[in-house]
Amino acid sequence: MDELEKSLQARPEQILYANLLEKGMLFGLILVLATYIVYLTGLLKPYIPLEEVPGCWHMSVDKYLDHCRIHAGWAWLGMVGYGDFLNFIGIALLAGITIMCFAAIIPVLWKQNDKLYALFALLEAVILGVAASGILGAGGH
């Protein structure tokens, strides 16, 4: 492969990132669709009956959580036995795949002696991880 052809190709960490992102995205989307079908068909009983959801979605999130007695954060993990909360698995995977991608390219960048970008990737994974952890609360309305 000559120099020009090589320079036109994406760098190894970029290819690794793209491959992981592709697999995670496809798996996440399939999961989102599959769990939604389970939810709509009633294969798993929803926590909030479908006909009652339109009575809740006009409320602010605080009122909605209070009215439906739902805990925010990762509490949904304990409720995946319900059809509606089952959907959160696919959604969380879609929202989490980027963290995995950044974590995966850290060793590749480090090996290339690209320590600055390895640090960037680590920082990005930490920032997204903190956002995902739920430790950053938000004020209510």
Partner 1 sequence: MTRSAKLALIVGACLLAVLLMDHPVLAEAAGAAGQTSSQYPWWLWPVLLFVVTFVMGVAAVLGGGGGGVLFVPIISGFFPFHLDFVRGAGLLVALAGALAAGPGLLKMNLASLRLAMPVALIASTFSIIGAMIGLALPTKYVQIALGVTILGICVLMLTAKKSELPDVPRADRLSSILGIYGVYQEATTGQIIDWKIHRTWQGLVLFVAIGIMAGMFGLGAGWANVPVLNLLMGAPLKISVATSKFLLSITDTSAAWIYMNNGCVIPLIVVPSLVGIMLGSFVGVRLLKVAKPTLVRWIVIGMLVFAGLKALQKGIFG
81 binds partner 1 (CB under 8 A): no
CA distance 7 to 10: 8
CA 96 to chain centre: 3
CA quadruple 69, 41, 58, 132: dihedral sign: positive
Closest to partner 1 by CB, 74 vs 107, is 74
Chain residues in the site for partner 1 (CB under 8 A): 4, 7-11, 13-15, 17-19, 21-22, 24-25, 28-29, 32-33, 36, 39, 50-61, 64-65, 70, 72-74, 84, 87-88, 91-92, 94-99, 114, 116-117, 120-121, 123-124, 127-128, 130-132, 134, 136, 138-141
